[in-house]
Amino acid sequence: MKKLLNTLYVTNPCYFLGASGDNITLKENGKLIQRYPLHNLEEIVVFSHSGISAELLEKCTEFSIALSILNPYGRLNGRFIPPSEGNVLLRKKQIETVLDHSASLAISRNIIAAKIINTRNFLIRFRKQYKMRIDSDAFGNVIDHLKESKDKVLQSTSKEGLRGIEGDAQSAYFGIFNQMILNNKETFAFEGRNRRPPLDPVNAMLSYAYTLLALDFAGALEAVGLDSYIGFLHTDRPGRISLALDLEEELRTMAVDRFVLRLINLKQLDHKDFIFQDSGAVIFTEDGRRKFLSEWQKQKYTELQHPFLQEKISWGLVPHIQALLLARFLRGDLDQYPPFFWK
């Protein structure tokens, strides 16, 4: 469990949520674990649970507290919204900001600048750690290129230009991605990004994890009352969670690419974990998917220092904190949206 910015996150699936007086109570096997004053909260987010009492829902109505229930993978199962909840006003502000070119572009610039900075920092770390096993000069060229790309992002005056800069930076990054695969290249050779369908095990893992991360963001956005389908940078399409894809950009390198490389380099997956179809598509076996998801969930419990909050949280809460910060910005509580910068 974690209390952040007046939002209580309950991550232990064994807790039963109840109420005692004007407090929320968390119990496990009938034993009181913790209690929090309800008047200090504006939202409760639950990742699976063993039960929620009707009394707590009544208290949430009394104190105007929203309660969101997500499954263990971060997807929103449902949301209890008290009558006084102002989600309509928040979503209206979201739409107004999307339609305001200057405001929407400013958010998009922050997101893409964070993505490029995070990617560059990752490459700097990797080059320092494995300098004897990679082409250090090639890494240096890409690192310099990403610095130039970040500067261009901050000067960009259109979303089309921003997408072009981001695409060029990503192409340069993936151009050296194969060098970061240090083991079992017979199975995990990477010749470039491909999807729909992925044509090799590396792309199969990347695409699958990007989808999981986007769903995490979609659940987080919906939990704070935002519409995950209305984005600032990604264009609107039926069924596309555009805003989730926007915020995902900040975390792609650290949460997905680094994770996939770790699975490969620690030999946690192998050739037998994939099915190579006659069409050329590559997908997980059932056992491979189970192993992948197991490690994905473990990663969510590792801790990091959030750069804006300056507080230790688990990786699994990062999408929820970023969604909450975006909502705070749209409400006018913050001067600008603070993207996630990994150090």
When pLDDT is averaged across residues 108-130 and rounded to a whole number, the result is 96
Over residues 120-138, the pLDDT tens digits come to 999 999 999 998 899 999 9
Whole-number Å distance between alpha carbons of 241 and 315 = 21
Give the chain's end-to-end CA distance (angstroms, integer): 25
Q: At what angle do helices 318-331 and 87-99 cross, to 10 degrees?
A: 80
Are 232 and 243 a contacting pair, CB within 8 Å?
yes
DSSP letter (8 states) at residue 89: H
When pLDDT is averaged across residues 43-65 and rounded to a whole number, the result is 86
- pLDDT in the model for residue 3: 46
When pLDDT is averaged across residues 302-310 and rounded to a whole number, the result is 89
Are 162 and 149 a contacting pair, CB within 8 Å?
no
State the chain's mean pLDDT as an integer. 89
For residue 237, give the 3-state DSSP assignment.
Answer: coil
Whole-number Å distance between alpha carbons of 42 and 228 = 20
Report the range of poorest mean pLDDT among 8-17, 70-79, 92-101, 150-159. Answer: 70-79
When pLDDT is averaged across residues 331-341 and rounded to a whole number, the result is 93
Report which of residues 78 and 59 the model is more confident about. Answer: 59
Using the predicted structure, report yes or no on whether residue 21 has a pLDDT greater than 80.
yes
- pLDDT in the model for residue 63: 87
Residues with Cβ within 8 Å of residue 108, at least 6 apart in sequence: 159, 162, 232, 233, 246
Give residue 294's pLDDT band: very low, low, confident or very high (50, 70, 90).
Answer: confident
- pLDDT in the model for residue 46: 84
- Which residue in 47, 41, 40, 18 sits closest to 31, CA to CA? 18
Task: Tell me what percent of the chain is helix, strand and coil, each rounded to the nearest 5.
Answer: 50, 15, 30
Report the range of poorest mean pLDDT among 3-7, 22-26, 45-49, 55-59. Answer: 3-7
Over residues 314-332, the pLDDT tens digits come to 888 899 999 999 999 999 9
For residue 313, give the 3-state DSSP assignment.
Answer: strand
- pLDDT in the model for residue 273: 94
Tokens found for residue 79: 């949301």
Whole-number Å distance between alpha carbons of 174 and 324 = 31
When pLDDT is averaged across residues 204-211 and rounded to a whole number, the result is 91
- pLDDT in the model for residue 49: 72
By CB atoms closer than 10 A (0-12, 13-18, 19+), residue 35 is: middle
Whole-number Å distance between alpha carbons of 163 and 210 = 18
Give residue 84's pLDDT band: very low, low, confident or very high (50, 70, 90).
Answer: very low
